[in-house]
Homo-oligomer: A and B are copies of this chain.
Amino acid sequence: MDALAIIEAELTGAMLRAEANGAPPKLAGAMRHALFPRGARVRPRLAIAVAAACGATEFAPAIAAGAALELLHCASLVHDDLPCFDDASLRRGKPSVHAAFGEPIAVLAGDALIVLAFQTLAHGCMTHQSRLAALTLITAQAVGMPSGIVAGQAWESEPDIDIARYQRAKTGALFAGAAMAGAAAAGHPADPWRGLGEALGDAYQVADDLCDAAGSLAESGKLPGRDAAKARPSMVRERGIEGALDYLDQLADAAAASIPACPGRAGLQALMIQEAKRLVPKSLARVAA
């Protein structure tokens, strides 16, 4: 199986546990709606790629950590789409969870996905219990307070936002968590991997801003133009499209350069550059020099 198939199998297994024994059907349906069909699964792929680059021979903890981060990512999308935040009716080209299932079930689906993430992590570490505490702390740091994605979203309710801090928490934190979890799952120190994750997170945020400014519904599965409509902080708004494209190139180089010494460093560097190119909306793709 390739990494994507392994990730889908892990998420399917987690969802089957959540649905067991007569679970309330609407909530189960909303969780499935949020999780499937798959997005790009970039965070779990990163966790597994880092574990592999670190020379892992047993992948269960990395797969579980990656799935946990994907569950948390999906949870954050469900809550971000709620009427009190983005009030988005579409997500990945289909109705958002609250549009399809109503607001109460959407709040609960986010909550249940957060819980399922930590449960999935514990399941995946049953044969490697010494890894669980570190992976739980890395995961919680990526998601919670004071600097995870929940904190990032909360900055939108503050009168003064530092855009770099905001985006680092809102997007970078989960990527940093994925890179660090991949290392920790392989028994390597996690902290040296934070820089890679943060640079990738910044790159994804800039790419997302570019998609919002110049992408299409067909390409991204989201209605473009929401950042401008909501006057949200955006790198395109700050630097223009060309400036944002330049910044994306710099971030991809920084990500590749930041990879710590490990057995699979060269292969991982090539993968990072390739991923960054894939992110740019087709209408803006630059011809390689």
Contacts and interface: CB of A to CB of B under 8 A. Distances in A.
A37 interface: no
Interface in A108-133: 108, 110-112, 114-116, 118-119, 121-123, 125-126, 129-130, 132-133
B105 A157 contact: yes
Given A122-B136, A129-B132, A144-B116, A108 B150 contact: yes
Listed residue (A107, A125, A141, A148) with the most chain B CB atoms within 10 angstroms of its CB = A107
A115 B31 contact: no
Contact of A145 (B116, B133, B146): B116
Given A24-B155, A27-B150, A154-B105, A136 B118 contact: yes
B133 A126 contact: yes
Nearest to A136: B122
Interface residues of A, number: 60
Contacts of A25: 158
A107 B75 CA distance: 12
A163 interface: no
Nearest to A130: B129
Contacts of A148: 115
Contact of A125 (B21, B133, B139): B133
Contact of A143 (B115, B133, B137, B147): B115
A24 B104 contact: no
Nearest to A125: B133
A190 to B, nearest CB: 14
Contacts of A103: 84
A99 interface: no
A18 interface: yes
A243 interface: no
Contacts of A31: 145
A103 B112 CA distance: 19
Interface of A: 18-28, 31, 75, 79, 82, 84-85, 102-105, 107-108, 110-112, 114-116, 118-119, 121-123, 125-126, 129-130, 132-133, 136-137, 139-141, 143-148, 150-151, 153-158, 165
16 contacts: A23-B146, A24-B151, A28-B146, A85-B107, A102-B157, A104-B156, A112-B151, A114-B114, A114-B115, A115-B148, A116-B145, A118-B139, A119-B140, A119-B144, A126-B133, A129-B130
